Amino acid sequence: MKTTDKYLFQALDNYPFWLEGTIESLDYAFSYDDKNTMVLCLYGRIQAEQLLNYEEAKSYFQQALAINIHALEVYPYYLKTLILNEDYDEAQKLIDFALTVKGINKSEIYIKKAILLEAKQEFKKALNEIKNAKLYSLQFAFDSDVTDVEKRIRGKIDLLKKSKKSKNDSKKKSK
């Protein structure tokens, strides 16, 4: 095992519960291999998930993909960051490309696409992507994530229906 891997495993083991230890291990791993895509990905995750510094996170993810376009671990986190940063066009382009990458978890990418559509309040289209995610799902544990996203989207659709109904009822009463 390479020294880089040892420190990377320590960083992954520490994240997100001990950030100081995570950063220390990542810095060591990076000093041994500054082109390790998993190290760059975890740096990006820390920027996005802990510091809410999406632009810096995007930079780390872009570096990782520039080194290896097949760095499968990067795509889900990069997409999440783009969606949170409201970079919807960029997220859509990355989704389209990610779906062509051999070996990628297509179910996870379709979930990100559903979340992107949810963020754009295109709920019916989002539900179609949930169907795709279910069709491509090969992991039992991942099925519960798909179900959670589907429930949230359906809840928003119901909320809009109730809101529309109460507006119509208000208009009828005022006449």
Q: What is the CATH number of the domain that holds 80?
A: 1.25.40.10
Q: Are 149 and 111 in contact (CB under 8 A)?
A: yes
Instruction: Examine the pLDDT at 174 and tell me if it is beyond 70.
Output: no
Looking at residue 8, what is its pLDDT?
97
Looking at residue 123, what is its pLDDT?
97
Looking at residue 166, what is its pLDDT?
75
The tens digit of pLDDT for each residue in 76-134 reads 999 999 999 999 999 999 999 999 999 999 999 999 999 999 999 999 999 999 999 99
The tens digit of pLDDT for each residue in 57-89 reads 999 999 999 999 999 999 999 999 999 999 999
- What band does 45 get if pLDDT is binned at 50, 70 and 90? very high
Q: 19 lies in which domain range?
A: 3-174
Q: Are 119 and 145 in contact (CB under 8 A)?
A: no
The tens digit of pLDDT for each residue in 19-33 reads 999 999 999 999 999
Q: Are 12 and 6 in contact (CB under 8 A)?
A: no
How far is the C-alpha of 30 from the C-alpha of 33, rounded, in Å? 5
Write down the number of H helices and E strands in the chain.
Answer: 9, 0
Among the residue ranges 67-71, 123-127, 137-141, 148-152, the one predicted with the least confidence is 137-141
Looking at residue 167, what is its pLDDT?
72
What DSSP line would sit under 1-23, residue for residue? --HHHHHHHHHHHHTTT-HHHHH
Instruction: Examine the pLDDT at 175 and tell me if it is beyond 70.
Output: no
Looking at residue 143, what is its pLDDT?
73
- What band does 165 get if pLDDT is binned at 50, 70 and 90? confident
The 3-state DSSP class for residue 45 equals helix
Q: What percent of the chain is modeled with pLDDT above 70?
A: 94
Average pLDDT of the residues of the chain: 93
Number of domains in the chain: 1
How far is the C-alpha of 83 from the C-alpha of 109, rounded, in Å? 13
